[in-house]
A and B are shown apart, each in its own frame.
Chain A
């Protein structure tokens, strides 16, 4: 009825809008349903191993909000995840499966640490230099699998996983043989000077100025993907490489740069862990954090605008998991199980097809024609 009374263009615009709203609605429902299902499965597992599953799950779901210090820990953790989520958003945009973030993170932390400890610079410049060096390290390391993929056609997935191990060993090598104080019996460096530390504005709360930096990075990545010609090329290559080739997009260069550019936020994440979280280099600085960015990027549907939200949601679970382990002796690795289930369900296209068909029919009836 509505459609008939409108001018054709208006009707078309209205339809597009309705379709778009419907798509967003589907995506949101689907993401939330997935998280709820994953949490439900987590609860079943908790009930199997814990005598007090309700107490454990309450700790998981409310723990991060229970004190200002814990909120600070949550924000601190989410900041790193935002940067890593952005890294995966960029590579997944071009449908490349380079998982180099973990290696780029180690190298980023390493060069940030070297600048922080061995390059005395005035305040402001020191911090900026360390962050820049970390970003450069991530970018340059990404050129290796990028070039292997773009110019030789070698699997970026396998190459990046091998390069991750190499970067991690290299980090350990420099840390234990050079960067830690000579003769020290421990595996960490001296604390960084105050000029190379991301400032914590609130005493006793771990939230630091890395968070606004990460949000700024989010805006920049969004602009890069949706408002630059490189971002357009990246998206076309991801959506349809044949078409990209046909319209003359330099496929190889786009793939090379796509994988390398994703190293910039990943390297920054490494610098953040060193300068914002630990204030020094430590042996196991990442503990696989580089891979957690995958679930953040998937939850955000590869749209950088949603990455902070996804990072906060996922980080909430991670911190809740730690609190659950300490208060209810249920292993925090449960969160990694939940993460895997989220990825499986989010990528299972047909799982929600029936559901969205049903919703589409209902909405169609409501719009009425």
Chain B
């Protein structure tokens, strides 16, 4: 196990290093000069030069990369150009917001999706299976901004059950008004439900055909027990990987959902950092999202190991 962890952690380290290089190169290629962008109309040659010197933009790229990555290793991501504050002060609150939203959607969505998938997989080609499969297809096909806007129209504008905007007032947390989480979470669940439900359904159908499920049935066990003890643990194995990958996506890829609902999470911050050419912030966020992917995959592998006795890392 230790050997496995060491191996995986070092792989993650290498991955993040490569990613950091890629991010740096991309921000270098990004059109527009940061100093120009920041000074806008007040840009004179002297002021531009002064600002470039202040931001170390006049130094060669590899020197800047090394000093940046050196800072990252020490936990210092530098200062945001726009907010003029250390990035390590800005980001944690946003991470917390995004985590809350993602976990909320997961906790709500995964059990529903798995249950629907099992139900459909046990009785393939019944009416219920067709309904669930169609809903899943629709969920995959509709982009989040469509489902998000539709939810807003129905639940907020027409029925007035929920507030249309999910912004968080200064000094409060998402839990102060948990109702603001409902619509973004539902939108996320739409996509999540489809993936997880379809995956579960396919796996359950496959496991139902295995000789060991036949053994369980021919032991005279009631169907409920066969499904809970013999089908589900085996059918869930591949699903776990899907859930973990989706978790990475939910933290990093919330740009659309967070912007539709004005929810102040990582995605919104990321979008703004791109719009304002806030390069240090952009770099930090990209690296953070890559790390989330890497670690949620590690967690998935560990969970997979725990559930699958055939795999034991020595």
* Chains A and B are bound partners: no
Taking beta carbons and an 8 Å cutoff, which residues of B are in contact with A?
Answer: none
Residue numbers of A with Cβ under 8 A of B are none
